[in-house]
Amino acid sequence: MLVLVVNCGSSSLKYQVRELEAGADGGTVLASGLIENIGSSRIADHTQALELLAERLEAELEGRTIDAAGHRVVHGGERFSAPVLATNEIIRDIERLVPLAPLHNPAAVLGLRAVQKTWPHLPQICVFDTAFHRTMPEHVWRYAVPEEFYERWGIRRYGFHGTSHDWVTGQAAQFLGVPRERFSCVVAHLGNGASVTAVKDGASYDTSMGYTPLAGLVMGTRTGDLDPSVVTAVLRRDPGMTPERLDAVLNKESGLRAIAGDHDMRAVQEAADRGDERAELALEMAAHRLVKYVGGYHVAVDGAQALVFTAGIGENASAFRARVCGRLGALGVVLDDDANAARSREVRRISAPGSALEVLVVPTDEEQAIAAATAALVAAGTSPA
């Protein structure tokens, strides 16, 4: 089966084509690429981008045809707890969730409709970033705010990066030889956007991101957890500050960028190594926030069996991993310095013998996860929602 994996942005379309054999997790990548500047004079809209993609694939696949398309959809709200076959009604449901993800869900809808127009009979599967976290119990996802906030506006904790957290959990359990349904761990997805999830018995129990991806860890350009009164104080004290401007500040001008002057962890680490005090402060803040979550989530799942690092920073920033693990001695974490320093694209253990928690690095692959979910759903001929 050939699966086209589609990740649509407002002005871009990232894609992969994977070939999957029966029972395979994610198959082999046959083609991949990025189409940018959608909405320009060169590429008017997503439909035209898909027509360009179809031409590319005809050449790259040498006449072979796509069997299904899998789409990354950021927000499934409370409606979607699993991948689902896209129908006109499902696409309308995703549109209804636009207020919860105004930057992302509109692009997903455009991508779904563009594929529908280009390949009318192609099955399309939606895989939701929020779906993995639908297993969180109500006492975890609820906010202590008036009931109408939830009933009228859907204000609750949703969580994000679920496709990655789900995939990495399965890979970690398999690596350790533990049945997933008996596996509890803490997964730290650390990239420019970062989140940490408490996994209990193979399912999401709690996660650091909330109503939006702004909550939780200190990120590249996002604040992470913040006293809500900071927002009201700034709005009251600065007459020129609008909600839209403040939202941009908190999401795009904060985090590592605000403290160290750069959102790239590699640049911040290099600056800290040169003695830059602001860079060192930024790293200390980010590590401290993560350590607090790891400790709390270890307790929340009644004792995690592993701490798992993934995504760009989690997989590659050995110095930051060491900084974090060096503060987890109270949990019995002991790092193997040589294993931590080694680079690999394979799942690997970086904890020392005798460490109370296994510490793993598990490369994430959201495209592979989406392809596997798409192939499984199409093969089964069903589409649970």
Positions marked catalytic: 129
34 is in an annotated binding site: no
266 is in an annotated binding site: yes
314 is in an annotated binding site: yes
Give the strand pairing for 358-361 and 306-310.
parallel
366 is in an annotated binding site: yes
121 is in an annotated binding site: no
Q: 3 pairs with which residues across the strands?
A: 18, 68
DSSP letter assigned to residue 86 = -
210 is in an annotated binding site: no
| Measured distance CA(9)–CA(145) in Å, rounded | 32
The contacts found for 294-297 with CB under 8 angstroms, 24 or more apart, are 294/186, 294/188, 294/196, 294/324, 294/328, 294/331, 295/328, 295/330, 295/331, 297/186, 297/196, 297/197, 297/198, 297/206
190 is in an annotated binding site: yes
14 is in an annotated binding site: yes
Which helix (DSSP H) or strand (DSSP E) does residue 106 occupy? helix 105-118
121 contacts: CB under 8 Å, gap ≥ 6:
none
For residue 70, the number of C-alpha atoms closer than 13 Å in the C-beta half-sphere is: 30
Residue identified by tokens 């127009």 is 117
193 is in an annotated binding site: yes
37 is in an annotated binding site: no
Q: What is the DSSP string of 235-251?
A: HHH-TT--HHHHHHHHH
296 contacts: CB under 8 Å, gap ≥ 6:
none
Residue identified by tokens 């989140």 is 195
264 is in an annotated binding site: yes
Task: Please report, for residues 136, 168, 244, 297, 311, the alpha-carbon distance to residue 289 in angstroms, rounded to integers and kept in the order given.
Answer: 21, 21, 26, 12, 18
Among candidate residues 363, 342, 341, 339, the one with its CA nearest the CA of residue 351: 339
105 is in an annotated binding site: no
For 269, the 3-state DSSP assignment is: helix
313 is in an annotated binding site: yes
* Annotated binding-site ranges: 7, 14, 72, 189-193, 264-266, 312-316, 366
* Annotated binding-site ranges for Mg(2+): 7, 366
* Annotated binding-site ranges for ATP: 14, 189-193, 264-266, 312-316
* Annotated binding-site ranges for substrate: 72
